[in-house]
Amino acid sequence: MINFLDLKEINARHADELKAACCRVIDSGWYIAGEELSSFEKEFSAYCGVKHTIGVANGLDALILVLRAWKEMGLLCDGDEVIVPANTYIASILAITENRLRPVLVEPDPHTFNLSLEGARSAITSKTKAILAVHLYGQLAPMPELMALANEHALLVLEDSAQAHGAQLNGKKAGNWGHAAGFSFYPGKNLGALGDAGAITTDDDDLANVLKALRNYGSHKKYENIYQGVNSRLDEIQAAMLRVKLPYLDGEIARRQQIANCYLNGIISNDSLTLPTVVEQTAHVWHLFVIRTTKREELSAYLHQHGVQTLIHYPIPPHAQQAYKNKIEHGNLPITELIHENVMSLPLDPTMSDDSVDLVIRLINDFFSDNT
Ligand SMILES: *Cc1c(COP(=O)(O)O)cnc(C)c1O
């Protein structure tokens, strides 16, 4: 059986180090906002090439709190428009609506699944204040172009980097392009904790300062509250787990890229099967390997029959979810809807063996040679 993602196997490789780090925290007697967090924040900042990392409880909070901080700083107001790709995971949209801002859903580039310069440009109105660029499936959105557009119109840019730790373009990593970025360390992400965790990265000192208060009841100094903050903290145990795993991230990304290249070279595309488009080798860290196929049900049934698990990211677009029924204004979104009807994710994680990769390739090619 080739599982879609083998979390047990992924963490088993670091078991001794993880257990030692866990014991270190238990024995320290300090469990929130201590040395592990401040060290992880420094290490992750160095990794991304940014000035500040602010650890928070999860990826959704990271996105929510950046927008919230920009409101506290007077840079955003209720009802301001935020441009966002329509085909993202719902968290990106929730961060906008949670802050009483207006998501403006934009059709993605159908080849990269990311926001395009033209798409973003055509959505700008006099009420647009920010762009939330999502690096979907692990590939950087076209950040040089989007940043130039944002500068031209004085827009804030927030990167949803939850799927793209370590992705880079022109030597600059995800989390280092926009004015701020949100990361998730959910266990299944490319850098995963052993529970929930997230972080914000930014070069902006003022923003970092506001965020450090917001995540902690709006307080810099115990029992003095400047903002009506929240409790969203990255605890010491999870920070310690992440410190163990961060040094292995680049090696794991390299293995993901190797597997993705095998898929790209080995799987034969045809009229009913499209392989993902890679803009630039280093820009894609392959959180997910997503193909498009008009024979999704048949192909996934065939693969399951032969012991290969596949998933769909995502079956229903945010605007079609019951949660947003009649709650977000949007035009027709045919590209987004088509994407959700025909995407399928193949198994890809750094522990996957070459034999498993070859088997997946062979099964897919066999399926289409019998079915075209
Ligand atoms: C996982 C994810 C999030 C949310 O992260 P959590 O840690 O689960 O809250 C946000 N955006 C995208 C694109 C994601 O994939």
% of residues, the chain, pLDDT over 90: 99
Tell me if 352 CB under 6 Å of ligand 1: no
| Cβ–Cβ < 8 Å for 244, 17 | yes
Per the CB < 8 A criterion, the answer to whether 133 and 161 are in contact is no
Q: Decide whether any atom of ligand 1 lies within 6 Å of the 134 Cβ.
A: yes
- Tell me the average pLDDT across 82-101: 98
Under 8 Å between Cβ of 335 and 85: no
Instruction: Quick: pLDDT tens for 336-345.
Output: 999 999 999 9
- Our answer on whether the CB atom of 192 is closer than 6 Å to any ligand 1 atom is no
Instruction: Report whether 93 contacts 117 (CB < 8 A).
Output: no
Question: Does ligand 1 lie within 6 Å of residue 89's CB atom?
Answer: yes
Q: Give the chain's count of helices (H) and strands (E).
A: 13, 14
pLDDT digits (tens, 9 = 90+) for 134-155: 999 999 999 999 999 999 999 9
pLDDT tens, position by position, 172-223: 999 999 999 999 999 999 999 999 999 999 999 999 999 999 999 999 999 9
Residue 319, Cβ density class (10 Å: 0-12 exposed, 13-18 middle, ≥19 buried): buried
pLDDT at position 372, please?
A: 61
DSSP 33: S
185 Cα nearest atom in ligand 1: 7
Distance from the alpha carbon of residue 271 to the mean position of ligand 1, in angstroms: 32
Q: Are 108 and 87 in contact (CB under 8 A)?
A: yes
Q: 184 in ligand 1 pocket by Cβ < 6 Å? A: yes
* Structural contact between residues 196 and 162, judged by C-beta atoms closer than 8 angstroms: no
Q: Residue 371: pLDDT above 80? A: no
Tell me the CA distances in angstroms from 92 to 181, 207, 228, 269, 335, one per residue in order: 12, 19, 22, 31, 18
Pocket test for ligand 1, best of 64, 84, 89 (most atoms within 8 A of CB): 89
What are the helix (H) ranges across 153-305?
A: 205-214, 236-245, 249-266, 296-305
Q: Between β-strands 273-274 and 198-202, what pairing exists: parallel, antiparallel or unpaired?
A: unpaired
Is the pTM here over 0.95, yes or no? Answer: yes
Find the 362 Cα to ligand 1 centroid distance in Å. Answer: 32
pLDDT (0 to 100) of residue 56: 98
* Ligand 1 near 133 CB (within 6 A): no
Expressed in angstroms and rounded, the spacing between residue 249 Cα and the centre of ligand 1 is 18
Residue type for position 95: A
Return the residue whose CA atom lies nearest to atom 12 of ligand 1.
Answer: 162
Interior CA angle at 334 toward 331 and 336, to 5°? 95
The overall average pLDDT reported for the chain is 97
Distance 19 CA to ligand 1 centre (A): 26
- CA-CA distance, 148 to 152, in Å (whole number)? 6
Residue of the CA atom closest to atom 5 of ligand 1: 59
